[in-house]
């Protein structure tokens, strides 16, 4: 036997108090009342016997939760911009970039699915597809990627439909950014300010010129910082789309999607789009 004595386990003493075991013993715990962990951890109902499906389902649920937080942050930011409260808007946007990084890290468990692994439960998904995610659609609407037709799959779900319809009718985060720039004296054209907010935002050369002007100004100016926070958001959303594309390409090649699209070819088209396009193109003119 070694002469070295094993580290002694600390006896429980009165000086190091353990948590109070009586909290919650007469009902649900305050933790449960706040987190609803019991609900959350019993919402997993795999549709196949494949042991790999659980990771697919939970990753999808985790992503839905991140979409929910990000929508909350961008909505907060849009409302703050509307009342010219740039500090609150910046805080929300910066929080959202950390959340988007966590969202993107959630691809890890699915990034290397082989076709055989995916096929083991793919059939059980039927026509189910992330394309039918209402919360993801709200993210896209907030970014200016509006489309009334995207409400169609949600017609049978009154709450989702109402929330999406409201998001469609509201100015996007980008609309609020451009309105703020106009109030600060920048030459955002009237047609852009008065545009039909339920329509997809189309890039405008005059908006690009405004951003080039902002970026040519003081380097630590608050509008440059706003532009950079929005660029971080744009880059991270673009990364999510591309990580999704690559995971899909690995898992199913060029097969059709469960949601009825051409699959990878359709996702490639979606992923090639830039979020807040003028923030990228303006860089060539600074």
- Give the binding site for ligand HEM (CB under 6 A): 59-60, 63-64, 110, 113, 129-131, 133, 136, 244, 247-248, 251-252, 257-261, 263, 266-267, 270
Cβ at position 188, least distance to ligand HEM in Å: 27
DSSP H or E stretch at residue 102: helix 86-105
Cβ at position 127, least distance to ligand HEM in Å: 8
Cβ at position 282, least distance to ligand HEM in Å: 25
25 CB-side CA count, 13 A? 5
User: How many whole angstroms separate alpha carbon 281 and alpha carbon 274?
Assistant: 10
Cβ at position 120, least distance to ligand HEM in Å: 12
Tokens standing for residue 136? 């993801």
Toward ligand HEM, which CB reaches closer, 129 or 281?
129
User: How many whole angstroms separate alpha carbon 242 and alpha carbon 270?
Assistant: 9
- Are the CB atoms for 119 and 256 separated by under 8 Å? no
Nearest 5 degrees, angle CA 44-CA 45-CA 51? 90
Calculate Rg over the CA atoms of the chain: 24
User: Which residue's structure tokens are 């608050």?
Assistant: 222
Toward ligand HEM, which CB reaches closer, 91 or 268?
268
Q: Max alpha carbon distance in the chain (Å)?
A: 85
User: How many whole angstroms separate alpha carbon 202 and alpha carbon 60?
Assistant: 30
- Cβ neighbours for 155, distance < 8 A, ≥ 6 positions apart: 161
Toward ligand HEM, which CB reaches closer, 231 or 261?
261
User: Which residue's structure tokens are 């790999």?
Assistant: 52
Toward ligand HEM, which CB reaches closer, 55 or 192?
55
Toward ligand HEM, which CB reaches closer, 80 or 110?
110
User: How many whole angstroms separate alpha carbon 145 and alpha carbon 275?
Assistant: 9
Cβ at position 32, least distance to ligand HEM in Å: 26
Toward ligand HEM, which CB reaches closer, 33 or 127?
127
Toward ligand HEM, which CB reaches closer, 175 or 243?
243
User: How many whole angstroms separate alpha carbon 70 and alpha carbon 106?
Assistant: 14
Any known ligand binding at 244? yes
Cβ at position 112, least distance to ligand HEM in Å: 9
Cβ at position 183, least distance to ligand HEM in Å: 32
- Are the CB atoms for 215 and 283 separated by under 8 Å? yes
- Are the CB atoms for 202 and 195 separated by under 8 Å? no
Indicate the annotated binding residues.
122, 244, 258
State the binding site for heme.
244
Annotated binding-site residues for substrate read: 122, 258
């Amino acid at each position: 036997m070694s002469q070295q004595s094993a580290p002694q386990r600390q006896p429980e003493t009165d000086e190091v108090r353990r948590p109070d075991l009586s909290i919650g013993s007469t009902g649900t715990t305050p933790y449960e009342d706040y987190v609803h962990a019991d609900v959350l951890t019993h919402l997993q109902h795999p549709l196949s016997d494949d042991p790999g499906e659980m990771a697919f389902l939970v990753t999808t649920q985790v992503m839905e939760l991140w979409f929910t937080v990000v929508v909350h942050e961008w909505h907060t930011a849009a409302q703050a911009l509307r009342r010219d409260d740039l500090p609150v808007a910046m805080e929300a946007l910066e929080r959202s970039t950390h959340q988007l990084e966590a969202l993107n890290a959630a691809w890890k468990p699915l990034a290397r699915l082989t076709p055989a692994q995916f096929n083991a439960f793919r059939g059980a998904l039927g026509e189910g597809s992330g394309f039918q995610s209402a919360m993801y659609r709200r993210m896209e609407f907030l970014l200016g990627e509006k489309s009334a037709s995207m409400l169609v799959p949600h017609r049978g779900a009154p709450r989702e439909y109402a929330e999406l319809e409201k998001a469609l009718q509201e100015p996007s985060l980008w609309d609020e950014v451009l309105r703020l720039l106009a109030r600060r004296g920048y030459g955002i054209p009237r047609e852009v300010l008065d545009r039909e907010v339920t329509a997809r935002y189309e890039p405008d050369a005059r908006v690009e010129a405004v951003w080039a002007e902002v970026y040519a100004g003081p380097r630590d100016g608050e509008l440059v910082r706003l532009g950079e926070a929005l660029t971080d958001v744009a880059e991270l959303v673009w990364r999510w789309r591309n990580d999704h594309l690559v995971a899909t390409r690995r898992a199913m090649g060029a097969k059709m999607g469960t949601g009825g699209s051409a699959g990878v070819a359709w996702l490639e088209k979606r992923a090639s789009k830039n979020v807040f396009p003028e923030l990228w193109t303006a860089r060539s003119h600074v």
